[in-house]
Chains A and B, each alone.
Chain A
């Protein structure tokens, strides 16, 4: 019964995407062309990768506000490496970015578990700390286009197949890997168990602290990966712009994608659809003549709307459960 409700949940997001596209398509027919589809696809890889990590964190009943700053710091350190050591092969940038993100994520996880602190306060603190460090390591200066390796920038243009650029392929690969991790591995299931019942989880022998650190580490590592992809997508890294507000876009995509804020519920296909919906909205704004300054308001509205949907779904699930019990 609950399973079918969840399946309906993803169908609901799909329906929202279709309705939105039809609505915009009627107003502006240009929205339904292949070119627009490409624009949407190029908007989503960063959010998609960040959302996979954030999804796991929220399923485990935590929240990670620092991913935007992790993205900024990882991107900045990678770009600095490119600038001052151009002889290092560019592919090594991925190792650096993911490694930096992993380290910063582990710091979050250790602070949360070792001192039993709420993740929201810890990551609010590290959000500022990591952003400050980004300014310090870069001397508050942007790393310009010429320092970002051409091969890296080409990843956002060139494609292995069917005109789909590499960064989209990477994002989809991350999504598939997360799907496998969350559904097919022991640790993945333990994350759901921790989120659905934090009291029962340790009694069942789940090493809650270790899994929590792992979840934050994954979130950090993926934020790091999104950092080098930012450098690829935009060709520069700016200490104040790169990653600022990223956490809100990602949280919006995750909660509209059906991940319950009460933990324990959420699926990769749902989040992928949520990310896609956010991409459609972002692409539609300029076509509808809505200024870019209203982006943030829309992300905020999406989060609030998603919370309302989450609540009504939960109410229906509870009603279904109790009526099923009544029939027994």
Chain B
């Protein structure tokens, strides 16, 4: 592609232009949104350390991360969806509905495998509904998932009413379980991040996700089955939502329909803060991973500093807008 125009232009000296010099390696490595996320993370931990010495204790950070581990898990898979050029606002609601069904099944003392299949199966069905509407019927994912966001949360309210459903004692306390010195939810998150980072960065399938988001028409002509990729991503989001729901219940001990209410804000915020490009085609799991840590530190920091939940909500809202402005700015300054 680059050779043909140069050959043509060299015969007409007036229009001859040198190819733009490649960006220096240090720029390719460092001028990217993830760097900003990392710097912010270091700053946030440092600022937290000023508030309370606990912040410099890795144990404290790990323990407090369990509070946002479920939404962080969802943010990882949402990152893939956004890179593929779509968006899904419904996972937080899907998590609530699947968790309600799971807890409801458990309240009948049914065997565990049935409860788990109900939970995962409901997540799969919700993902399938999203993909049928978005990929099958070619409807825009923004409005579809606003609709299913309302629908899934509403169904959870129909099932659970305004009461909370308790789960058996033995099921409670996944955040207290230590595996390899890590709280179990943190470990699940880290393993999921490594697996998805490998998938996205190292496999053909991962590169095809980037292709799909960068230019779907070109991707189709290149023989990439973009519809199948997107459908799988929405299904995976549904399943991840149900797994996140199970972790959530185990941590809380009971579930209400408003589980993770407004969680879509935090999920989207993690993806945006990690430098995922909202119009698709760019972004990394590393970025979302760092952003999830950053957000956990910020939330814990704000709670330590005795900020009202309302103030925290304001901060998250402002952060979302600022992070997307910063990400767009950085991408507009670097070559596509």
A322 within 8 A of B: no
> Chain A interface secondary structure, helix, strand, loop or mixed?
helix
Residues of B within 8 A of A261 (CB): 139-140, 143
B242 at the interface (CB under 8 A from A): no
- Which of A114-122, A149-157, A229-237, A266-274 binds B? A114-122
Measured between beta carbons, the chain B residues less than 8 angstroms from A133 are 310, 314
Interface contact A303-B151, CB-CB below 8 Å = yes
Known: A132-B314, A293-B157. A252 touches B144 (CB 8 A): no
Closest to B129 in A: A304
Q: Does B230 contact A (CB under 8 A)?
A: no
Which residues of chain B are within 8 angstroms of A311 by Cβ–Cβ distance? 137-139
Q: Are A117 and B325 in contact (CB under 8 A)?
A: yes
Which of A86-94, A123-131, A188-196 is near enough to bind chain B? A123-131
Q: Decide yes or no whether A148 CB sits under 8 A from chain B.
A: no
B131-159 near A? 1/0 per residue, CB < 8 Å: 00100011110111011111111110110
Q: In the docked arrangement, what's the CA distance between A296 and B261, Å?
A: 13
A63 interface residue per 8 A CB criterion: yes
Give the residue of A111, A130, A248 whose beta carbon is less than 8 angstroms from that of B146.
Answer: A248
Chain B residue numbers with a CB within 8 Å of A130 are 317
Say yes or no for A251: interface residue by CB 8 A criterion: yes
Q: A124-B265, A255-B143, A303-B143 are in contact. Are A297 and B154 (CB under 8 A)?
A: yes
* In the complex, per-residue mask of A275-312: 1 if CB is within 8 Å of any chain B CB, else 0: 00000000000000001011111111101100110110
* Cross-chain contact A121 with B268 (CB below 8 angstroms): yes
When C-beta atoms are compared, the residue in chain B nearest to A312 turns out to be B137
* B147, B268, B308: the one within 8 Å of A124 (CB): B268
- A140 at the B interface (CB under 8 A): yes
State how many angstroms separate the Cβ of A234 from the closest Cβ of chain B: 20
Query: Chain A: interface residue count, which band?
Result: 35 or more
CB distance from A128 to the nearest CB of B (A): 3
Instruction: Kindly state whether residue B5 has any CB partner on chain A within 8 Å.
Output: no
A-B CB pair tally, cutoff 8 Å: 149
Q: In the complex the two chains form, is A304's CB within 8 Å of B154's CB?
A: no
In the complex, what's the smallest C-beta–C-beta distance from A178 to chain B, in angstroms?
21
Given contact pairs A126-B321, A129-B317, A261-B140, A251 touches B146 in the complex (Cβ within 8 A)? yes
- The answer on a CB contact under 8 Å between B137 and A128 is no
B93: nearest residue on chain A (CB-CB)? A300
Residue numbers in A under 8 Å from B89 (CB-CB):
120, 124
Contacts of A124 in B (CB 8 A): 89, 264-265, 268, 320
Bound-state Cα–Cα, A65 to B320, Å: 14
Q: How far is the CA of A248 from the CA of B143 in the complex (A)?
A: 11
Across-interface contacts of B265 in A (CB, < 8 A): 124-125, 127-128
* Contact among A118, A131, A297 for B155, CB-based, below 8 A: A297
Spell out B's residues near A (CB within 8 Å): 87, 89, 133, 137-140, 142-144, 146-155, 157-158, 161-162, 257, 262, 264-265, 268, 272, 278-279, 308-321, 324-325, 328
Q: What are 20 A-B residue pairs whose CB atoms fall within 8 Å in the complex? A: A117-B278, A120-B142, A122-B321, A124-B89, A124-B265, A132-B311, A132-B314, A135-B313, A136-B314, A252-B147, A261-B139, A262-B140, A293-B162, A294-B158, A295-B154, A296-B154, A298-B154, A300-B152, A303-B151, A311-B137
